[in-house]
């Protein structure tokens, strides 16, 4: 009798595939246990790069951000360092047991010692930690890290990172601030406030205007050039520095004065600013821009520079000032690192500089500074005893005052900005001095300022009274000055002369015409053309239309030989070897001078017409002569008012 089982085993066949086409084979799955509760370390997520590196991010026992490589950095010592004194949690959650001990043989074999916990199972612990990071999803530290100092919170809120704690505003359903709450440093909403060395916290009780008045009285002991406003601006900067990272504009100041004027008593180590701010500042006498970025990381505490003097080579100083420029409006700086990943640095701090002399500054940097000038103390003046002012406590009270005033600070600034604009300040100056005034007003007063209070300070800060503005040269003015003051030498061995001298002599040739056949006629005009410059008149050619009224040739500017009967322009070629040599190694090189000079447009400049320079036709920008030479050297038709009227008539079609 045959055995079907034996027969089947003797001649096995391949089992048929029961799955439908396209169906995956279902694998048996063992569900992973949930991550144990009560973990003293917070897994944040994971990040991978194209090279295969996978970083798991955690907030460690101390609240600091740690990135561990998933492949080889979750060993026992790495996990112990991550958990610190709380590493017992690893043993409780992932125990590693010893083997039980037995005695005897056979039937007499007995267990004499049960298994004991001898540590933690590193393999299971690391697996659980990595899996939890993967569950959390992708975590990119860029843009989410926040260091010590003030930051914006929600729409109009405020959060201040004090190192070990953070203080954040609470909001109503309408978005209004209703109070303040303390939290441990760590993950708050979507940002990571990494734990760091604590900085001074605000005063624990409500504060009135007395601390601000006390500090202003102290600052008034110094002899300021602007006696009334400079102490107010410094007071405002101190208030702004405490909330700098949360402001949308961070004012910067520069205290300058000769020896013996008391700069160091304000800005030096253990002096007024140092004591007021405590550890909530980055102080240095000499540091590179790279050192500042790396020291700040994502912190927004103020940056204090003492004695940053002008030098023969100001490149290092200029790099630092460039950081202050970026920081004033807020921004991120990015630099490559040794691991080939970009590092991000937050730049949102108020900067303070002090020096005997201020190095030469571009207009865009000077306009971001409040320049506070000290003069020698009056004879017999007694220096203040700082110990009598309790400055560390005063600083905490001022900080509390600024925090409580945050809900109305922007409206306060808006009122000062509007008045400054009416007084003739440009938008940047309104932001700069409006912020300083608003912060000073908050420290000295309750509520919003009325028109009388606003105008009292704004009237003392008109543009003509502000060296930061009245002495600041525009980009186009600096570019033109570079051309006009460049020394040039004609062929034939004559001594070197400034280009402006050639321009003046060429104009004089037009105003006092000589015999057309006389020797030397037009000599200076020819010299200018060799440099890519030429005196011309301009005229507007309106649109040309066909019989149907369609524009066949749009309106354009043209040029002609210069005559004193019409406005005279200095034509500057857009491209020219002579100008390339003049602008070599400057920021206007490579034809950038055209972009700068065309900004004289409000003064009557014209960009784009073609001009012949020594038989070569080039596009040029026409600079009106009244911004090149003094008006008493010009013919009547080339003076400013005449040029602006002429241009208006040209474009309106009224010109003859």
pLDDT digits (tens, 9 = 90+) for 29-47: 567 889 999 999 999 999 9
Residue 634 DSSP class? S
What are the sequence ranges of the domains in the chain? Answer: 42-136, 145-193, 210-395, 475-652
The predicted model gives 3-13 an average pLDDT of: 76
Q: How far apart are CA 296 and CA 274, in angstroms?
A: 17
Least-confidence region, from 177-181, 290-294, 480-484, 500-504:
290-294
Residue 518 has pLDDT above 50, yes or no: no
pLDDT in tens, 40-70: 999 999 998 887 889 999 999 999 999 999 9
Residues 6+ apart with CB under 8 A from 339: none
The pTM (predicted TM-score) of the whole model is: 0.78
27-36, 366-375, 577-586: which has the highest mean pLDDT?
Answer: 577-586
pLDDT tier for residue 321 given thresholds of 50, 70 and 90? confident
The end-to-end CA distance of the chain, in Å, is: 129
pLDDT tier for residue 611 given thresholds of 50, 70 and 90? very high
Q: Mark residue 34 as left, alpha or beta (left: phi above 0; alpha: psi -120 to 50; beta: remaining).
A: beta
pLDDT at residue 542, as a whole number: 87
Show the CA angle centred on residue 414, arms to residues 413 and 416, nearest 5°.
65
> How many residues can be counted in the chain?
656
pLDDT tier for residue 296 given thresholds of 50, 70 and 90? confident
Q: Which CATH superfamily is domain 210-395 in?
A: P-loop containing nucleotide triphosphate hydrolases (3.40.50.300)
pLDDT at residue 24, as a whole number: 60
Residue 129 has pLDDT above 70, yes or no: yes
Residue 516 has pLDDT above 60, yes or no: no
Residues 6+ apart with CB under 8 A from 395: 200, 275, 276, 277, 278
pLDDT at residue 332, as a whole number: 67
pLDDT in tens, 415-442: 999 999 999 998 999 999 999 999 999 9
The CB-side HSE value for 623 (13 A sphere, CA atoms) comes to 28
Residues 6+ apart with CB under 8 A from 162: 148, 198, 199, 200, 201
pLDDT at residue 656, as a whole number: 47
Share of the chain above pLDDT 70, in %: 92
Strand 145-146 relative to strand 191-193: parallel, antiparallel, unpaired? parallel
DSSP per residue, 153-221 = ETTTEEEEE-SSEEEEEEE-TTS-EEEEEEEESEEETTEEE---S--PPPPSS---SHHHHHHHHHHTT
Residues 6+ apart with CB under 8 A from 401: 207, 209, 211, 212, 239, 442, 443
pLDDT at residue 1, as a whole number: 60
pLDDT in tens, 239-294: 999 999 999 999 999 999 988 898 989 998 999 999 999 999 999 877 788 888 88
Residue 653 has pLDDT above 80, yes or no: no
For 67, list phi and psi in degrees, rounded to 5: -110, 120
């Amino acid at each position: 009798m045959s055995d079907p089982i034996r027969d089947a085993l003797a001649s096995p066949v391949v089992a048929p595939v029961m799955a439908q086409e396209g169906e995956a084979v279902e694998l048996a799955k063992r569900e992973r246990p949930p991550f144990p509760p009560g973990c003293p370390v917070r897994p944040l997520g994971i990040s991978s790069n194209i090279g295969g590196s996978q970083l798991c991010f955690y907030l460690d026992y101390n609240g600091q951000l740690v990135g561990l490589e998933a492949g080889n950095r979750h060993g026992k010592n790495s996990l112990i360092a991550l958990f610190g004194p709380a590493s017992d949690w690893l043993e409780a959650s992932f125990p590693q047991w010893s083997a039980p001990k037995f005695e005897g043989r056979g039937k007499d074999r007995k267990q004499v010692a049960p298994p004991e916990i001898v540590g933690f199972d590193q393999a299971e612990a690391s697996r659980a930690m990595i899996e939890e990071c993967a569950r959390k999803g992708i975590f990119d530290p860029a843009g989410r890290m926040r260091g010590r100092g003030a930051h914006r919170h929600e729409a109009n809120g405020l959060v201040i990172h004090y190192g070990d704690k953070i203080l954040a505003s609470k909001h109503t359903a309408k978005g209004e601030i209703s109070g303040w709450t303390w939290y441990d440093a760590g993950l708050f909403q979507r940002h990571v406030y990494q734990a760091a060395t604590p900085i001074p916290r605000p005063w624990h009780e409500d504060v009135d205007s007395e601390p601000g008045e006390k500090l202003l009285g102290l600052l008034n002991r110094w002899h300021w050039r602007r006696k009334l406003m400079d102490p107010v601006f410094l007071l405002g900067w101190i208030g702004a520095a405490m909330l700098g990272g949360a402001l949308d504009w961070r004012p910067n100041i520069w205290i300058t004065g000769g020896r013996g004027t008391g700069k160091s008593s304000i800005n030096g180590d253990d002096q007024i600013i140092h004591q007021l701010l405590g550890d909530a500042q980055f102080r240095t006498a000499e540091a590179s821009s790279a050192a500042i970025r790396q020291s700040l990381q994502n912190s927004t505490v103020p940056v204090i520079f003492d004695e940053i003097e002008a030098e023969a080579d100001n490149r290092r100083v200029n790099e630092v000032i460039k950081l202050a420029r970026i920081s004033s409006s807020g921004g991120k700086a990015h630099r490559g690192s040794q691991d080939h990943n970009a590092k991000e640095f937050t730049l949102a701090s108020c900067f303070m500089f002090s020096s005997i002399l201020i190095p030469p500054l571009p207009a865009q940097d000077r306009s971001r500074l409040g320049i506070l000038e000290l003069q020698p103390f009056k004879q017999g003046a007694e220096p203040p005893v700082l110990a009598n002012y309790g400055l560390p406590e005063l600083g905490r009270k001022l900080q509390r005052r600024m925090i409580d005033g945050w809900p109305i600070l922007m409206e306060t600034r808006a009122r000062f900005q509007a008045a400054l604009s009416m007084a003739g300040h440009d938008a940047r100056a309104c932001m700069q001095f409006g912020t300083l005034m608003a912060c000073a007003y908050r420290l000295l007063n309750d509520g919003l300022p009325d028109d009388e209070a606003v105008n009292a300070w704004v009237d003392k800060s008109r543009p003509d009274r502000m060296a930061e503005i009245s002495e600041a040269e525009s980009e186009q003015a600096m570019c033109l000055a570079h051309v006009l003051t460049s020394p040039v030498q004609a062929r034939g061995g004559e001594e070197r002369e400034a280009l402006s001298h050639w321009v003046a002599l060429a104009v004089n040739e037009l105003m006092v015409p000589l015999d057309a056949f006389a020797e030397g006629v037009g000599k200076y005009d020819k010299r200018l053309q060799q440099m890519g410059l030429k005196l011309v008149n301009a005229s507007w050619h309106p649109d040309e239309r066909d019989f149907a009224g369609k524009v066949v040739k749009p309106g354009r500017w043209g040029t002609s030989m210069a005559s004193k009967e019409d406005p005279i322009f200095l034509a500057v070629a857009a491209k020219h070897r002579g100008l390339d040599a003049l602008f070599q190694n400057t920021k206007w090189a490579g034809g950038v001078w055209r972009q700068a000079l065309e900004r004289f447009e409000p003064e009557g400049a014209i960009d784009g017409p073609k001009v012949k320079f020594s038989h070569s036709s080039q596009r040029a920008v026409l600079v009106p002569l009244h911004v090149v030479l003094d008006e008493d050297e010009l013919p009547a038709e080339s003076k400013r008012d005449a040029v602006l009227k002429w241009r208006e008539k040209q474009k309106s079609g009224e010109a003859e």
